[in-house]
Amino acid sequence: MKIGVFVCHCGENIGRTVNCPEVSKACASFPGVVHSEDYKYMCSDPGQNLIKQAIREKHLDAVVVGSCSPHMHEKTFRKACASAGINSYMVEIANLREHCSWIHEDIAEATKKAIDLMRFAVERVKFNHPLQTIKVPVTKRSLVIGGGISGIQAALDIANAGFEVVLVEKEPSIGGHMSQLSETFPTLDCSQCILTPRMVEVYQHPKIKLLSYSEVENVEGFIGNFKVTIRRKAKSVKEELCTGCGLCAEKCPIKKKALSEFDEGLSNRSAIYVPFPQAVPNVPVIDRSVCTYFKTGKCEMCKKVCGREAIDFTQQDTFVTEDVGSIIVATGYKLYSIEKKPEESIYKGYGEYGYGKYKNVINGLQFERIASASGPTSGEILRPSDKTEPKKIVFIQCVGSRDESKGFSYCSKICCMYTAKHAMLYKHKVHDGEAYVFYMDIRSGGKNYEEFVRRAIEEDHVNYIRGRVSKIYEEDGKLIVKGEDTLAGLPVVIEADLVVLATAMIAQQEAPKLAQTLNISYDKYGYFQEAHPKLRPVETNTGGVFLAGACHSPRDIPESVAMASAAAAKSLVLFGADMLEREPIIAKVDESTCAGCFYCQKVCAYNAIEKKEIRDRQGNLKKVVAFVNSGLCQGCGTCNATCPSKSIELIGFNDDQIFAQINAFAEV
Amino acid sequence: MEEKFEPKIAAFVCNWCTYTGADLAGTSRLKQEANARLIRVPCTGRIDPVFIIKAFENGADGVLISGCHPGDCHYNAGNFHARRRWILFKNLLDFIGIDSSRLYFSWVSASEGKKWVDIVDGVIDAVRIKGPFKQYKKMNKEIEIPVAVEEGVSVK
Amino acid sequence: MNELKQICKDALTEKKARFIIGYKEDKNKRVKPFIAKTPEDAEKLTFSHHAVNNLAVYLSRFKNNIDGKIGIVVKSCDLKAVTALIQENQIKRDDLFIIGVNCSGVVLDVAKEFNKDNTQIKCKYCQAKTPPYYDALAEESKEFEMPDDDQAELMAKIDKMTAEERLEFWNAEFEKCIKCYACRQVCPMCYCEKCIVEKSEPQWIDSSSTSRGNFSWNIIRAFHQAGRCIGCHECERACPMGIPLTLLTRKMGMVAFSEFGYRHGTSLTEPTLIGTYSTSDKEDFIK
């Protein structure tokens, strides 16, 4: 092997403390080195030309450059060498600047160290192999999990760019929490009015395949090449026949038994139901847990009235597989719920607020339904217990948020804004009513957000009280709210007609399970983890899987939409090329010595190790060995260090290369 | 008069955190002693205990291993697997008699240039006090050093 | 004795196993491994205090077995090796017909009778005379008074030495090593197809029997056993030079237990120590 050595002075940056000509001279005597020179600026055009010229004239096989950190110019020198005809992975960089000249003062010491670092690199490069970047084909389709506003936005963006999207929603309809909202801050425009056109657009889009009432069951493969298994839950209704006339739901005899999920339990629904009139798709499903037919085998009312014969009680869950190149996770959030029976709840806090015990203590989403024109009270503010108009209403912020002892230490971010909105909506509808808000701090960062809160306080005269509520109890049909005004330093007692708790936004309970299916990380709260908090906020550690909306952390609608578009853009970047190029630094198995203990599989964080059967010509199984899926391997080398027989090695950092470096240590 | 002993330190560092942290020490011009030689690996998970043994065999008086803080691993969990491996290996070396003042572990992130300098200087000082690793050097002497390979000998 | 023979005979007759790896007594009264292939062979099978060998060492060669079950006679200590091999994908539980034997200790010196002074070290701290699981169980359980665990005392003594003294102690021991690799050959957990010591590109461990090569070989062998050794002490029994190898492997087992609460080969379902981690693993030694 003919090795060329090039020592850069980096102006004076290296040259000031390292005697570069001496280093170059010392390197010339290393075994295998046929060319050695130093130059003022190796990374400059003339410097690169020196390397190229030497490669051509001396027929070099490998190059070692002593320069700045490989993180700076490794790519530059690799490219230069590649253009002169040697493989770019036959180049090694010795870090003579950051790791030597800049940190030492004594010229003799620094020069000696520089020679050592060069020797390490020269010894290492002798065991480098020409490598080719790995090219994997990209399936230009995307899977979006979750049909809330984030999922809808991501799906539409990708579909409008001309690529197919599979949109999976676990509920019977898309729309998510946004479809439940009355009006949205800070503009007070009607939520459904801006959302439903988007939902219809999704339904009618030729590039979007909507799978409602479905859940992701399994994910295999890797970036550009995922194979997703989706469970289509039995709707008990043949989707292709149903016209959405609604007669079945109307005639269903068990109107009173099931609580409407859409109305947050404030109204009832039938056993066969569409969640809300604008549902997309407008196809009902049978809730088998309450349906008389599924419980007793009798009734079949819906089947009798359906003119299209769309009801099918025998329907089973089915499974479909979809090939996609990217996955966008937009599974949203749920509200911290203080269950009706606190002892059965996984959330122990705030029993003292009486949620579940007192009908007139409700959460933010329930208030949205009460305030919504499509809600159970048709938009009239009426309290649940006796359907009378509350004259005094108390809003309590940070129920569960910012409270490590009872809930979660994070801020749910949207509550300050929606509480201001709630109070405002209330005041707009109940002119003689009084609204009180208990708050810890008002966090209203965002365009026109602070102005919005000021409007609630100044124009709509909402009473903001800084302090916590300690107890709520019922007395003569009133809710006695006992709290403290910490600014006045006085205890406060309010006889309220209705109390609204701004409960924390929390991760979906199934989030950790989905994270495991997708092989992405999640934090201690169950929110999905981004690849980098600053620079890769919508990517995950698994290539090709992106995050959108509140499944990542609490966020409001505009932020969710922005994140969804960002995730869509990330997918589209992926779809921009036919082949995906990857660094060839991946593990490789020596099948002849692999004993199949699969410890490598256990330590692999990327599920990149598979089992491969080796058979003889007659087809008899000879052995089962590890096999590296080059699409999934990220090149950490943990398998290499774990393998007792070194039958799996990380190309580019293989044992030979590191061994050579350690051996070179002998001459330090 | 006895010549002043200068220890040789072999340092195995991960590419993403400690190597970059050491780069930062350089960009910040933080001066440090010149006894350590870094060997870059992608992840602490890549570091096999044979590296440590081999470093001692090649004359290292001390070995330093450093990577990303727990939870910060570029490869999710490489450092967690590494940490478990170190606990076992360190206990083994302790039992065999290679005491902990020859082998050091640290977490140094890409932003901890100063911490890196302190760690390196600390290790160099500690090993300097400890003196040369005589026991291992004695074993090394037994092995005949092969005659230097002639120039032009082909290598694989 | 009839019971074991009968179980094996039935198993072979009823084809519950296509052969049985067990023990037989040779004409010099030495108990040796023996493979019974026919019901007649089963007559020769035996078990006694002299049945020292861990027969699980033969199992990994049947990892791609497709021809019916393999019968094996195991003591409770040997069963740990079987369990570990199942966990490490070297054999499938479904491919085994496990004939457990109640064991009340095996001899150290096979030429002498079993008694208090002629007992394997492992028996002195053995917790289970009866294997925790099996397909058939033979032999009656007998109680023997076990002598003190003198190895534990020695370990404590080594722990108290200074690092220099320990290094000296081990250098003196490893000095004896002749690199015959009997310790590896006899070890049921050393099933690699090519041992690291035999790899030449690169050669991490000097193959020559110098103190440096011996040192690194024994360290790496012990490390590769860390969290994996099941404590059958076959390595030490096989070592012709009398190196106290189980001091190292037992120490690593104790570390695995004290640091991680883990004992290899005791559960078919528990995740292995190597290959898993806990975010709360100790790190007081990391700066």
pLDDT in tens, C194-203: 999 998 889 9
Whether A57 shows a pLDDT value over 60: the answer reads yes
| CB-CB contact of A523 with A552 (8 Å) | no
Sign of the dihedral through C-alpha C155, C161, C164, C165 = negative
- Give the closest-approach CA distance of A548 to chain B in angstroms: 21
C285 within some domain: no
Spell out which residues of chain C touch residue A593, defining contact as CB-CB under 8 Å: 192-194
Whether omega for the bond prior to residue A186 falls within 30 degrees of 0, making it cis, is: yes
* Residue A494 or residue A606, greater confidence: A494
Inter-chain residue contact B42 with A640, CB threshold 8 Å: no
Q: How confident is the model at residue A344 (pLDDT cuts 50, 70, 90)?
A: low
Structure ipTM: 0.93
When CB atoms are compared, the residue of B81, B99, B139 closest to C215 is B139
C204 within some domain: yes
Mean pLDDT, residues A137-150 = 97
Whether residue C113 is found in the same domain as residue C235: no
- Mean of per-residue pLDDT scores for chain C: 91
For residue A611, the model assigns a pLDDT of: 95
Whether residue C89 is found in the same domain as residue C134: yes
| CB contacts < 8 A (A, B) | 134
The DSSP string of C145-212 is PPPP-HHHHHHHHHHHS-HHHHHHHHHHHHHT-----HHHHT-TT---SS-GGG--TT--S--S-SHH
For residue A184, the model assigns a pLDDT of: 95
b/e sequence C161-188, b meaning 16+ C-beta within 10 Å = eebeebbebbbebbeebebebbbbebbb
**What is the residue range of C51's domain?**
2-138
Per CATH, which fold does A587-651 belong to? Alpha-Beta Plaits (3.30.70)
For residue C160, the model assigns a pLDDT of: 93
Inter-chain residue contact B75 with A110, CB threshold 8 Å: no
Whether residue C112 is found in the same domain as residue C204: no
Inter-chain residue contact A662 with B51, CB threshold 8 Å: yes
B135 within some domain: yes
E strand segments, A124-178: 134-137, 141-145, 164-168
B155 within some domain: no
Whether residue C198 is found in the same domain as residue C236: yes
Domain A3-125 sits in CATH 3.30.450: no
Q: How confident is the model at residue B152 (pLDDT cuts 50, 70, 90)?
A: very low
Mean pLDDT, residues C46-71 = 90
Give the alpha-carbon dihedral of A127, A128, A131, A134, to 10 degrees: 90
Whether C1 shows a pLDDT value over 70: the answer reads no
* Residue A456 or residue A668, greater confidence: A456
Going from N- to C-terminal start, the domains of chain A cover 3-125, 335-506, 587-651
Whether B129 shows a pLDDT value over 60: the answer reads yes
C206 within some domain: yes
* Residue A257 or residue C278, greater confidence: C278
Whether residue C123 is found in the same domain as residue C155: no
Q: In this complex, which chains have at least 3 CB pairs below 8 Å with chain A?
A: B, C
Question: Which residue in chain C is spatially nearest to A658 when comparing CA positions?
Answer: C202
Whether residue C106 is found in the same domain as residue C188: no
Mean pLDDT, residues A585-612 = 94
Whether residue C7 is found in the same domain as residue C120: yes
- For the ranges A352-361, A608-617, B33-42, C177-186, the lowest mean pLDDT is seen at A352-361
Residues in chain A: 668
Whether residue C250 is found in the same domain as residue C165: yes
CA distance A216 to A329: 11
3-state secondary structure of A400: coil
Inter-chain residue contact A623 with C64, CB threshold 8 Å: yes
Inter-chain residue contact B150 with A104, CB threshold 8 Å: no
For residue A368, the model assigns a pLDDT of: 96
Whether B154 shows a pLDDT value over 80: the answer reads no
**What is the residue range of B26's domain?**
9-142
Inter-chain residue contact A105 with B31, CB threshold 8 Å: yes
For residue B144, the model assigns a pLDDT of: 53
| Tokens, residue A664 | 């070179």
Q: Which of C219, C247, C248, C262 to mutate to test the interface with B (most CBs of B within 10 A)?
A: C219
For residue A305, the model assigns a pLDDT of: 94
Q: In this complex, which chains have at least 3 CB pairs below 8 Å with chain C?
A: A, B
Mean pLDDT, residues A301-324 = 95
Give the up-direction half-sphere exposure of residue A369: CA atoms within 13 A in the CB hemisphere: 19
Mean pLDDT, residues A573-588 = 92
Question: Which residue in chain B is spatially nearest to A106 when comparing CA positions?
Answer: B34
The alpha helices in A89-144, defined as continuous H runs, are 107-125
| CB-CB contact of A485 with A492 (8 Å) | yes
Whether residue C121 is found in the same domain as residue C93: yes
| Count of structural domains within chain B | 1
Whether residue C129 is found in the same domain as residue C16: yes
3-state secondary structure of A63: strand
The DSSP string of A602-637 is HH-TT--EEEEEEE-TT--EEEEEEEE-TTT-----
C61 interfaces chain A, CB cutoff of 8 Å: no
Whether omega for the bond prior to residue C39 falls within 30 degrees of 0, making it cis, is: no
Mean pLDDT, residues C149-159 = 92
Q: Which CATH number do you get for residue B71?
A: 3.40.50
Spell out which residues of chain A touch residue C196, defining contact as CB-CB under 8 Å: 644-646
For residue A172, the model assigns a pLDDT of: 96
When CB atoms are compared, the residue of B49, B122, B143 closest to C223 is B49
C283 within some domain: no
Options 3.30.70.120, 3.30.450.20, 3.50.50.60, 3.40.50.1820; CATH for A335-506 is: 3.50.50.60
C281 within some domain: no
Whether C27 shows a pLDDT value over 80: the answer reads yes
For the segment A466-525, what is each residue's pLDDT rounded down to a tens digit?
Answer: 999 999 999 999 999 999 999 999 999 999 999 999 999 999 999 989 998 888 888 888
In chain B, positions 133-152, which contact chain A (CB-CB < 8 Å)?
A: 148-152
Q: How confident is the model at residue B153 (pLDDT cuts 50, 70, 90)?
A: very low
For the segment A393-427, what is each residue's pLDDT rounded down to a tens digit?
Answer: 999 999 989 988 877 899 999 999 999 999 999 99
Task: Please state, for a pLDDT cut of 70, what percent of chain B lies above it.
Answer: 88
Inter-chain residue contact C212 with B143, CB threshold 8 Å: yes
C113 within some domain: yes
Mean pLDDT, residues C108-121 = 89
Mean pLDDT, residues C151-172 = 92
B4 within some domain: no
For residue A343, the model assigns a pLDDT of: 56
Q: CA A656, A661, A662: angle at the middle one, nearest 5? A: 100
Mean pLDDT, residues C99-107 = 92
Pick the closest to residue A263 from A334, A369, A419 (CA basis).
A369
In chain C, positions 153-192, which contact chain B (CB-CB < 8 Å)?
A: 158-159, 161, 163-171
Mean pLDDT, residues C210-227 = 92
The one-letter code for the residue type at A247 is L
B53 within some domain: yes
When CB atoms are compared, the residue of C164, C168, C220 closest to B53 is C220
For residue A523, the model assigns a pLDDT of: 85
Whether residue C173 is found in the same domain as residue C90: no
How buried is B147 (Cβ within 10 angstroms: 0-12 exposed, 13-18 middle, 19+ buried)? exposed
Task: Please state, for a pLDDT cut of 70, what percent of chain C lies above it.
Answer: 99
| Count of structural domains within chain C | 2
Residues in chain C: 287
For residue C211, the model assigns a pLDDT of: 84
